[in-house]
Structure 1
């Protein structure tokens, strides 16, 4: 890990909603990574967004429904 290579103590991990994370970073309370879909729609004072290149990061998406009938219909629409 990069922090281990530079003898930096591991920071506390805080989980927040995306909009709260950006405010947290703007107040110099930490750093975060965000999905591109969030960053493309936000311009936040004093926060610099740097795209990560060549990373193995990916996002797995899941489909949820409140009942089996709705889920079956959605599955057909998504050709699942």
Structure 2
């Protein structure tokens, strides 16, 4: 079972900025499941030893847009 986190869009922007400063690539790919549900898939590619994947759903709680992470995985890069 994945841990759930709520991140606002400013936090995601900071995460993207940090990834760039650390020479990591962050590639957002938007996946439309249906007209009412929108998920955002962030793949953080670490330059050296680790990969990280976040599947997050964007929602509005009435005050601001938030992103709820619905799954998170991190692992060591396997080398041949």
TM-score class, shorter-chain normalisation, is under 0.3
Report the TM-score, using the length of structure 1 for normalisation. 0.25
Task: Identify the structure with bigger relative contact order (alpha carbons < 8 Å, sequence gap 6+).
Answer: 2
Report the TM-score, using the length of structure 2 for normalisation. 0.25
Structure having the higher helix fraction is 1
Rg larger in structure: 1
Structure having the higher strand fraction is 2
